[in-house]
A and B are shown apart, each in its own frame.
Chain A
Amino acid sequence: MAALGTARRLLRTCSRVKNVQRGEQRSVRCGLRTLCSGTRDHALSDNTRPQFTDPAVQDLLTRMTGLDLQKVFRPIKEELKPPTYKLMTDQQLEEAVELATQQAEKLLQMPPLLSERKPISDVLSVDKILDGMDTAKYVFTDITYNILHRERFIVVREPDGTLRKASWEERDRLVQVYFPKEGRKLTAPLIFKEGNLKMVFSQDRHEDVLDLCLVQFEPDSSDYIRVHAATYEDLDKHGKYELLRSTRHFGGMTWYLLGARRADGLIVDMLKRDLLQDAVSLVSLFHMVHPHSESAQEAASQQAAGADLLKIYADKESQKSGYIELALQAYEQLTTKKSSAE
């Protein structure tokens, strides 16, 4: 009798140990947010329109972003540590610089660009018998570890008895409550209000604002898009493109300006800093994005390349054609001087 009891208990322990093992083998969800594929645009635009995530577009944008190591690895506010000095040979120094470039490329990875999300308005059930059951809403969140935050079930039971899915703002807030992400606050920091944004822009801190925005908001939320649009508008108005040049936000800014067809200021700025290649790639990107514009068709017919592209763009599209032509002439003079000096 006792032997039977112990045998039964042994069997149970074996099964429990097996269950525990199976539980531990559950896969761990990866927390890295990688570049997500671009969502489908509205039905109005054609399917041939190049997306932000196309490899050709990304290649051009990364080339324009540049790789200024001094700026990417400039000292950020960290806890005070005494500096470490290393004695290296030339070869070791080259290897270290190569490692630094690879890390800089990873840091310069462009954040995802998605169209604005549509509001959720799904009612799961209407129970009029529950009307007046309580003065507060009940919000139910599913805390299963293995599901993506986008697919999580978050429902709200209103005091009048309707069971509806939670809106995007509620979802973001509750996901932050139960699965807190570092740096994200429950209520958005006051810096993202209109007046405060203006003050921060006057202090030339666009990059910090964009970094904060990236941490705080989801890439397809209306706040994220609004803050980014305001930042890019301000940069365009004052011509402060250099602030974003070697950062991860440069691609996003270029894409926005191209979409709004206001890339003239950027081209002028590039020519002023003698970055002819960047200007040329910007114009070719413009032709990719707007293939039906006059300058694009002209360029395609003439098979132009290099400075000719810029001339065609200056003639046909831009409002500041005078500036661009002047800058081109100055650049050509410089190149002739250099070649004659050599």
Chain B
Amino acid sequence: MVHLSSLLLKNYHGGYVVIRLALAGHKQANRPFYRIVAAYNKRARDGKYLEQLGSYDPLPNIYNEKLVSFNFDRIKYWIGCGAHPTKPVAKLLGLAGFFPLHPMTITEAERRRAQTELIATEDVLQEGQKEAEV
């Protein structure tokens, strides 16, 4: 592991840099907005970070889009310095095409499809029962 320490930042023994989502705008309830951030592992989730590398808005806008931004140049730098991306960041990067697809994304998609099929078959069964009663 590469240790990046300076006199300005706290020296973490055995700490490493992660690229993770930090919650921003905590003054508004029920409106999450994440910053994609390079920070030390031991720091608080919303605490002091090394650099902001992007943003993620989990609520879709009027065009039904979830806006995600990445500063790919700096992400490459931090990964080159030995930063580890967390699972949600790895999933987003996989969806963007920067990383290969995360296996959990595929698993979640399959689970969702199974769920929708289950609901659809239940509806069909219910309709069939209603017709039979009538």
Contacts and interface: CB of A to CB of B under 8 A. Distances in A.
Interface of A: 9, 12-13, 16, 124-125, 127, 129-146, 153, 155-157, 161, 163, 174, 177-178
Nearest to B59: A136
A65 to B, nearest CB: 40
Given A16-B4, A130-B105, 9 more contacts: A13-B6, A125-B97, A137-B64, A138-B95, A139-B67, A140-B97, A141-B70, A143-B71, A144-B73
B7, B109, B110: residue with the most chain A Cβ atoms closer than 10 Å: B109
A33 B55 CA distance: 28
A124 B101 CA distance: 14
A137 B109 contact: no
18 contacts: A9-B11, A13-B7, A124-B97, A130-B106, A133-B108, A135-B60, A136-B60, A137-B63, A139-B65, A139-B67, A139-B68, A140-B70, A141-B69, A143-B71, A144-B71, A153-B72, A156-B65, A163-B95
Given A130-B106, A140-B95, A143-B69, A9 B113 contact: no
B4 A140 contact: no
Interface residues of B, number: 33
Given A9-B5, A125-B97, A131-B113, A137 B66 contact: yes
Contacts of B60: 135-137
Contacts of A161: 109
B67 A136 contact: no
A182 to B, nearest CB: 21
B96 interface: yes
B96 A143 contact: no
Contact of A129 (B5, B6, B73, B110): B110
Given A12-B3, A132-B113, A138 B97 contact: no
Q: Which applies to chain B's interface (DSSP): helix, strand, loop or mixed?
A: mixed
- DSSP class of A's interface residues: helix, strand, loop or mixed? mixed
Given A9-B7, A146-B73, A133 B112 contact: yes
A78 B37 CA distance: 41
B105 A140 contact: no
Interface of B: 3-7, 11, 54, 60, 63-74, 92, 95-97, 101, 105-106, 108-110, 112-113, 116
Contacts of B92: 138, 140
B73 A178 contact: no
Contacts, number: 90
Contacts of A12: 3-6
A132 B106 CA distance: 10
A210 B65 CA distance: 31
Given A129-B110, A130-B109, A131-B109, A136 B66 contact: yes
B61 to A, nearest CB: 9
B65 A140 contact: no
A52 to B, nearest CB: 35
B70 to A, nearest CB: 6
A140 B109 contact: no
Q: Which has the most chain A C-beta neighbours within 10 Å: B63, B67, B113?
A: B67
Nearest to A187: B62
A146 B73 CA distance: 9
Contacts of B112: 132-133
A202 B57 CA distance: 44
A133 B6 contact: no
Contacts of A155: 96-97
B96 A132 contact: no
A165 to B, nearest CB: 11
A310 B105 CA distance: 72
Nearest to B3: A12
Nearest to B72: A142
Leading 8 A-B pairs by shortest Cβ distance? A133-B109, A136-B60, A140-B96, A144-B73, A141-B69, A139-B65, A132-B113, A143-B69
B3 A139 contact: no
Contacts of B108: 133
Contact of A136 (B7, B65, B113): B65
Nearest to B109: A133
A142 B67 CA distance: 11
A25 to B, nearest CB: 15
Given A12-B4, A143-B54, A132 B66 contact: no
A157 B69 contact: no
Contacts of A137: 60, 63-66
